[in-house]
Structure 1
Amino acid sequence: MQRPHSPTLRRRRLSAELRRARSNTNLTTTQVVKQLKWAAGKLSKIENAETQTVKAEDLDKLMDLYEVSDSAQREALHALAKDAKLRGWWSNYREVFGPQSLPDFEAEASVIRTFESSVIPGLLQTPAYATAVFEGGRYTGVEEIERRTRARMERREILTRFNPAKFRVVLDEAALRRSMGSREVMTEQMQHLLYMARLPNVDLQVLPFAAGAHAALVAPFSILEFPEPLDLPIVFVDTATDGLFLEEPEEVEQHTVTYSDAQGSALSTTQSARFIADVLKTLESE
């Protein structure tokens, strides 16, 4: 299976490259628009990644104007423009993920750091557990719950594919104690957590009640980092709707510090595995 890529990140990368090329020629946006005889907002939408499609002929005009003559560089920019038009598997679940999709960014993330306080993170959920989570919300239609569960299960592929994303999790004890569905559902979920915790790309740390107050007494969040230098880290914060993306460097830094502090208060990965195993034993003995 071919590894999916993020159309959004490719579009942003293309915009960044074009802005840099324009800057290298000391041209202003006004000068570019005037020379190409474009509408005033056309270049702005391209440079701000607000347009999904950049026509090949428009891209060639920009590169000619910016004196981009290297054939490899021109080919790379055309490849970015082409990739930006493609749709990932998550586009089939637009009603589930919303217009700005978390899987869109997860597809190319090299490292994902997550703090979760109430439930097992979606990337580590079993189908039965995910179904129980959705049944606890307002999504009561059977078909809708099944569709949301399928979408969540497809997200998990980023952890087991070739060259998988590194997943670092700080999980509040409450997520382990909160019963979702039946005892059998929770037993299976704890077994799955222990299995995933053994993967070399997954680090799972439990933040026990005994730790008391800690820095992450806030909404659950994830920090996504990418291998390309032009793709800056972003933060995703869970909300009651579709979630919120934060991209300002100060916001990313604040969440990074918060995650590090919570990680420092959590048990080690080895201690956490023992903790989860004890929770599993309790479930199995009930």
Structure 2
Amino acid sequence: MKPTSASPGARALAASLRELRTARGKGLRELARMVRILPQLLSAWEKGQRVASPEDVARLLGALQVDDATYDRMMRLARRAKDDNWLDSNPSDLPPALSGIVEYERTATHISNWYHAIVPGLLQTADYARAILSNSEIGLEQADAMLIARLKRQRILTRADPVRFAALVGEVAIREGIGSADIMSDQVDHLLAMMALPNVSLRIVPANIGYHPGLIGSFILYEFAGLPPIVHLENSHATAFLHEDDVVGRYRKQAKILAGKALSEGDTRDLLREVAR
């Protein structure tokens, strides 16, 4: 049996607890003293080494004096933290879904993804991301917060020990007009620049090649050292994180099929330069 701390929800809960404490300027020992627990136990909860119970999470949230919306979100996550898979039906709320994604990206050794119609978030320019978020069903303040978070997340590609990132992207993503012509031109130039990084691979899957499984939907596969991989699925109204072996295996197979249909990296560069003209 897999340890409960390896589940997607448990890892997201750990990251969210750590973020809430630091955002409110509380030291680990200070908060532990406030809720009358050992600092070592709180540290284990924040590192995902142990899973805090819903009752313990409620005590922490009370001590941190979070607002009602944050309390409800965190308690939903705490109640499902030990589930094998995690479904968040309201991904427009930044935590805990985004906290989970940030944690997976931060700790992953390799990230693979397939996007059919848009450029992956880790490769988006600020203007391209803003064009998407400003046309989504979220408020301006929340869109700004998500944009800032998205740009910060991209640092995992250029940090001292960068994650390996393999992106398979549908041709429609580079030909679809998101924002103005200048925004799309800058975005394509940015893709070419990112491909120069030794840890980044980008390959385009051509349009008009008939049916393939990628037409059904996009996915991201996070792989870790010493922890089970996680598959991330998302649409406009729900996001899911799965880590059962058979599910991961099916998405590995799908990625292999898509890679077999994709252009080489050299041909992808040629196509991007053609689009950028």
- Give the TM-score taking structure 2 as reference length: 0.68
1:180 alignment partner, one of 154, 178, 192? 178
Number of the residue aligned with 1:133: 132
CA distance in 2, matches of 1:226, 1:204: 21
Number of the residue aligned with 2:204: 206
For the Cα contact (< 8 Å) 1:203–1:269, is it kept in 2?
yes
Number of the residue aligned with 1:163: 161
CA distance in 1, matches of 2:177, 2:136: 14
Give the CA deviation at 1:212: 2.5
1:83 alignment partner, one of 36, 43, 47? 47
Give the CA deviation at 1:232: 0.4
Q: How has the CA–CA distance of structure 1 residues 241 and 275 changed in structure 2, closer, same or farther, with 3 Å as cutoff?
A: same
Number of the residue aligned with 1:196: 194
Number of the residue aligned with 2:233: 237
2:265 alignment partner, one of 263, 269, 278? 269
Q: Structure 2 stretches of 5 or more lacking a match?
A: 18-31, 50-90
Q: Secondary structure at the match of 1:154?
A: helix
CA distance in 2, matches of 1:164, 1:278: 29
CA distance in 1, matches of 2:11, 2:184: 43
Number of the residue aligned with 2:256: 260
Number of the residue aligned with 1:246: 242
Number of the residue aligned with 1:34: none
For the Cα contact (< 8 Å) 1:117–1:220, is it kept in 2?
yes
For the Cα contact (< 8 Å) 2:213–2:254, is it kept in 1?
yes
CA distance in 1, matches of 2:13, 2:136: 35
Q: Secondary structure at the match of 1:112?
A: strand
Q: Structure 1 stretches of 5 or more lacking a match?
A: 1-9, 16-47, 60-77, 86-92, 282-286
Number of the residue aligned with 1:124: 123
Q: How has the CA–CA distance of structure 1 residues 277 and 49 changed in structure 2, closer, same or farther, with 3 Å as cutoff?
A: closer
Q: How has the CA–CA distance of structure 1 residues 268 and 49 changed in structure 2, closer, same or farther, with 3 Å as cutoff?
A: closer
Which residue type is aligned with residue 166 of structure 1? R
Which residue type is aligned with residue 241 of structure 1? H
Q: How has the CA–CA distance of structure 1 residues 82 and 212 changed in structure 2, closer, same or farther, with 3 Å as cutoff?
A: closer
Q: Secondary structure at the match of 1:271?
A: helix
**Max radius of gyration: which structure?**
1
For the Cα contact (< 8 Å) 1:11–1:81, is it kept in 2?
no
Residue deviations 1:167-190 (CA, integer Å, cap 9, x gap): 001100111111111111111101
Number of the residue aligned with 1:89: none
For the Cα contact (< 8 Å) 1:97–1:242, is it kept in 2?
no
CA distance in 2, matches of 1:244, 1:214: 22
Residue deviations 1:212-246 (CA, integer Å, cap 9, x gap): 22232221100000012xx1011001122351101
Number of the residue aligned with 1:12: 5
Q: Secondary structure at the match of 1:252?
A: helix
Root-mean-square deviation (Å): 3.1
Give the CA deviation at 1:113: 0.4
CA distance in 2, matches of 1:205, 1:50: 30
Aligned length: 212
For the Cα contact (< 8 Å) 1:115–1:170, is it kept in 2?
yes
The answer as to 2:275 corresponding to 1:279 is yes
Number of the residue aligned with 1:227: 225
For the Cα contact (< 8 Å) 1:132–1:181, is it kept in 2?
yes
CA distance in 2, matches of 1:124, 1:144: 21
Q: Runs of 4 or more off by more than 6 Å in structure 1?
A: 48-51
Percent identical pairs in the alignment equals: 28
For the Cα contact (< 8 Å) 1:221–1:237, is it kept in 2?
yes
Which residue type is aligned with residue 145 of structure 1? A
Number of the residue aligned with 1:115: 114
Number of the residue aligned with 2:140: 142
Residue deviations 1:1-44 (CA, integer Å, cap 9, x gap): xxxxxxxxx9826x9xxxxxxxxxxxxxxxxxxxxxxxxxxxxx
For the Cα contact (< 8 Å) 1:205–1:267, is it kept in 2?
yes
Taking CA–CA contacts closer than 8 Å with sequence separation of 6 or more, which of the two structures ends up with the larger relative contact order?
2
For the Cα contact (< 8 Å) 2:13–2:96, is it kept in 1?
no
